[in-house]
A and B are shown apart, each in its own frame.
Chain A
Amino acid sequence: MPEMTYREALRAGMAEEMERDEKVLLMGEDIGVYGGTHLITDGFLDRFGKKRVIDTPIAEGGFTGAAIGMAMMGLKPVVEMMTWNFSFLAADQIIQNAAKVRYFSGGQVEVPLVIRGPNGGGVQLSAQHTHSLENMYGHFPGLKVVSPVTPNDAKGMMLTAIRDPNPVIFLEAGALYGTKGEVPEGDNAVEFGKARVAREGTDVTLISYGRQVNLCLRVAEKLEEEDDVSAEVIDLRSLRPFDSETIVESVKKTHRAVAVQEQWRWFGVASEVASIIQEQAFDYLDAPVVRVSGAEVPAPYARNLELAAFPSEDAVAKAARQVLYQEVSA
């Protein structure tokens, strides 16, 4: 199976779908001539021409609104947010129009729109450029929200996102653009609403999405080596629709769960995970579900502080040991 980077996988997904469907077009700041700030769309302008690869002004509300209009008229725009932080300026369009037009029109008008870009932090971009917005967009009915972590899912979910007749918030793990993974040739579309068991285990379930999945996998290895504990790691990857079944089945097997997220604790995905588990697997729990989250501060710039502000291997391992009652506090 060919190996490619996360960046190449995104590129492959968009390019293949643009070849397949001429209604697909790209929009965003510096995506054309410059090839994209993160070089995701490098070469697209030459390959697909400026009608389908549109450099926009620095006006997120304007070009997102324009893309919504295009989608309503039948095109399939893929909009790049240079980072998801800038989507605050487009949030009115996304939330008030993209998420609601289909509902308002009684299903007569669809909005087949993808908005994609790097989400979260980890690369020292400081407080204003280090938001994780999955809980914010996941809150609104009418939007789909996905957060792939492997190159395979990056491509496969991009294919699904572009084909979906609804607006899709496509949250890329910006810190992982250069990471490599196997991606099968051809159409590897990944269905939304299906979590991925990234590692099988029997003693504790670590639940995450985005780049924290890799953290959980490292912790799982560490727990195996140091404590002889078998940890299962679940990559949610699709946050809306959400796959309750996979986590519930896993907890029914392991009886313990830790939910890990980079974003802040309050009102986050991990809280949703914990709630679903207690609703649907209460009688199987051996310990309260523990959440590991980012520190309650705006993301720091300094590397040491940034590391301290995000979930660490130690923090996740500690949480796992806590639900395993290996560290019992009175």
Chain B
Amino acid sequence: MPEVIMPKMGDAMEEGTLLKWLKSEGDEVAEGDPIAEIETDKVTLEIEAEDSGTLAQLMVSEGQDVPVGEAIAFIAGEGEEVPEKGGGGQEAEAEAGGDDSGAQAQTATEEQPSQPQGGGAQPQAADGAQADGNGHFRASPIVRRLARENNLDLSRINGSGPAGRIVERDVRAAMESGTAQAGAQADGGGAQQSPDGQAQTAVEAPEQPQGQIVEMQGFQPARIPEPTGVPGTTLVEPTRMMRVIGERMTEAKQHVPHFYATVEVRMDAAMALRKQLNEQLEGEGVKLSVNDFVMKACAVALRNYPNLNALYTTRGVELHEKVDMAMAVALDQGLITPVIRDLASKGLATISRESKDLAARARDGKLKPEEYQGGTFTVSNMGMFGVESFTAIINPPQAAIVAVSSIEKRPAFDDAGLVVPASMMKLTLSADHRIANGRDGALYMSEVKRTLENPVLLMV
């Protein structure tokens, strides 16, 4: 029986969150029907059925994190038996284990990233997913064993142990009163879960978010306090994307030795050129942004500083000839860095068109994994927010990132020593000291400055 697995939506993806079941257990599904909505660290998307048949088992609850490649459901084809309610879970699992056909599900439409349905992973009330809920309760090993052996639904048992742990006496009491029998409750879907094998698979999953949060907290989790809970506070659980950003940035700040170099660039010439070009190209719908100039200048200048267009790998520093420029795009829920390939060889108009397209689709959550993976250098621009200067955290394994600040009018001296107005912009390089030294960073930034101050250089 084909299984529907958590798909791998990119090299870095290790697990995804099942946000919502779009079908119920027992539903007929046709090939291509969306059956569930999942959230990865980057996007939210729908999983489609790759086979037609009956959705036989939903193996995870909404809100649950599932490792890539693990089955989330089974689709029974025509003539195939839906697993027995009593002991089918393990059989189904065994069968799934032997099924090498790989992904039985493919992703369809990608949707706006949205928050997981709370961290609490409420079992769906309407269908029989209750038994899956066995994973969401603290219960002692003997309790889980008794639940399996006696077909009990732990969600119907109150735990009397520490932190609500369900302990043996609770189960014995429930067995006597008969209140915890799985499947005792009549329900519309008519699909009862076997508390069997699935209970086992469900057991471990809820631990994972906790583990991740601990990791995200770094090496001294003890210093992170419990919530105060005082009036006037709200507790917000981080989204998957925020957790991932938190983990990666913590890792970068802890493990990558950053050094910084800031230059102040006089932007009058570039602004004049931009104005001129935009006037000339208006008819073609081209409107170049300052950031297009900065990215182009950063990419062109990298030609002489290959060790800043590099990845820190297990076997050494991988220098890249092409500049695959990642540009940071702020989202409501976090940020993402879509990549413009081989930017140095592209003209400003192309760069402008591609960056607008990527940014728009990033905000809509419609980027494909290959569009935000594999950058070799990053530019992060906060100029539109009026910041005078800032420093960015390197996006590993990349060697460097440039932080772009606002253009501000300042008094400056001309060649005759007279005070004149000047449009100034600060650029700050953050670079990995394992890969490059301060001199490389300083020379590179002065090259970027020279290019932007003499923007004709961008044309050659």
**CB closest chain-B residue, reference A285:** B141
Interface residues on B, range: 10 to 19
- Contact call B163/A287, Cβ cutoff below 8 A: no
- Contact call A283/B141, Cβ cutoff below 8 A: yes
**CB closest chain-B residue, reference A287:** B140
- Contact call B162/A330, Cβ cutoff below 8 A: yes
A286 CB contact (under 8 Å) in B162, B163, B168: B168
- Contact call A329/B162, Cβ cutoff below 8 A: yes
Is A282 located at the chain interface by the 8 A CB criterion?
A: yes
- For A285, the chain B residues whose CB sits under 8 A away are 140-142
**CB closest chain-A residue, reference B161:** A325
Question: In the bound complex, how far is the Cα of B141 from the Cα of A282, in angstroms?
Answer: 6
Interfacial residues of chain A within 67-118, with CB under 8 A of chain B in the complex: none
Given contacts A283-B145, A286-B140, A325-B160, 12 further A-B contacts (CB under 8 A): A282-B141, A283-B142, A283-B144, A284-B145, A285-B140, A285-B141, A285-B142, A286-B167, A287-B167, A325-B161, A328-B160, A329-B162
Give me the 9 closest cross-chain CB pairs, A-B, nearest first.
Answer: A286-B168, A286-B140, A286-B142, A283-B145, A285-B141, A255-B142, A283-B141, A325-B161, A325-B167
- Contact call A284/B141, Cβ cutoff below 8 A: yes
- For B353, the chain A residues whose CB sits under 8 A away are none
- For A284, the chain B residues whose CB sits under 8 A away are 141-142, 145
Q: In the complex where A330-B162, A330-B163 touch, is A325 in contact with B169 (Cβ < 8 A)?
A: yes
Question: In the bound complex, how far is the Cα of B183 from the Cα of A220, in angstroms?
Answer: 41
Measured CB to CB, the residues of A under 8 A from B are: 255, 282-287, 325, 328-330
Is B427 located at the chain interface by the 8 A CB criterion?
A: no
Is B180 located at the chain interface by the 8 A CB criterion?
A: no
Question: In the bound complex, how far is the Cα of B142 from the Cα of A74, in angstroms?
Answer: 52
B161 CB contact (under 8 Å) in A255, A282, A328: A328
Q: Give the shortest distance, in Å, between B305 (CB) and chain A (any CB).
A: 55
Q: Give the shortest distance, in Å, between B171 (CB) and chain A (any CB).
A: 9
Q: Give the shortest distance, in Å, between A330 (CB) and chain B (any CB).
A: 6
Q: CB-defined interface of B134-171 with A at 8 Å, one 1/0 digit per residue? A: 00000011111100000000000000111100011100
- For A328, the chain B residues whose CB sits under 8 A away are 160-162
- Contact call A286/B160, Cβ cutoff below 8 A: no
- Contact call B168/A255, Cβ cutoff below 8 A: yes
Question: In the bound complex, how far is the Cα of B168 from the Cα of A282, in angstroms?
Answer: 14
Measured CB to CB, the residues of B under 8 A from A are: 140-145, 160-163, 167-169
Question: In the bound complex, how far is the Cα of B221 from the Cα of A151, in angstroms?
Answer: 52
Q: Give the shortest distance, in Å, between A183 (CB) and chain B (any CB).
A: 39
Q: Which among B144, B160, B168 has the greatest number of chain A C-beta atoms within 10 A?
A: B168
Question: In the bound complex, how far is the Cα of B104 from the Cα of A33, in angstroms?
Answer: 87
- For B161, the chain A residues whose CB sits under 8 A away are 287, 325, 328
**CB closest chain-B residue, reference A252:** B142
Q: Give the shortest distance, in Å, between B232 (CB) and chain A (any CB).
A: 25
Q: Give the shortest distance, in Å, between A141 (CB) and chain B (any CB).
A: 31
Question: In the bound complex, how far is the Cα of B143 from the Cα of A329, in angstroms?
Answer: 19
25 contacts between A and B (CB under 8 A): A255-B142, A255-B168, A282-B141, A283-B144, A283-B145, A284-B141, A284-B145, A285-B140, A285-B142, A286-B140, A286-B142, A286-B167, A286-B168, A287-B140, A287-B167, A325-B160, A325-B161, A325-B162, A325-B167, A328-B160, A328-B161, A328-B162, A329-B162, A330-B162, A330-B163
Question: In the bound complex, how far is the Cα of B163 from the Cα of A329, in angstroms?
Answer: 8
- For A325, the chain B residues whose CB sits under 8 A away are 160-162, 167, 169
- For B169, the chain A residues whose CB sits under 8 A away are 325
Question: In the bound complex, how far is the Cα of B152 from the Cα of A225, in angstroms?
Answer: 34
**CB closest chain-B residue, reference A322:** B162
Q: Give the shortest distance, in Å, between B5 (CB) and chain A (any CB).
A: 28
**CB closest chain-A residue, reference B163:** A330
**CB closest chain-A residue, reference B144:** A283
- For A329, the chain B residues whose CB sits under 8 A away are 162
Question: In the bound complex, how far is the Cα of B140 from the Cα of A283, in angstroms?
Answer: 8
**CB closest chain-A residue, reference B148:** A283
Q: Give the shortest distance, in Å, between B299 (CB) and chain A (any CB).
A: 57
Q: Which among A283, A285, A286, A325 has the greatest number of chain B C-beta atoms within 10 A?
A: A286
- For B140, the chain A residues whose CB sits under 8 A away are 285-287
Q: Give the shortest distance, in Å, between A162 (CB) and chain B (any CB).
A: 43
- For A255, the chain B residues whose CB sits under 8 A away are 142, 168
Q: Which among A282, A283, A284, A325 has the greatest number of chain B C-beta atoms within 10 A?
A: A325
Question: In the bound complex, how far is the Cα of B162 from the Cα of A328, in angstroms?
Answer: 6
Question: In the bound complex, how far is the Cα of B169 from the Cα of A330, in angstroms?
Answer: 17
- For B145, the chain A residues whose CB sits under 8 A away are 283-284
Question: In the bound complex, how far is the Cα of B163 from the Cα of A286, in angstroms?
Answer: 14
Q: Which among B142, B160, B161 has the greatest number of chain A C-beta atoms within 10 A?
A: B142
Question: In the bound complex, how far is the Cα of B173 from the Cα of A325, in angstroms?
Answer: 15
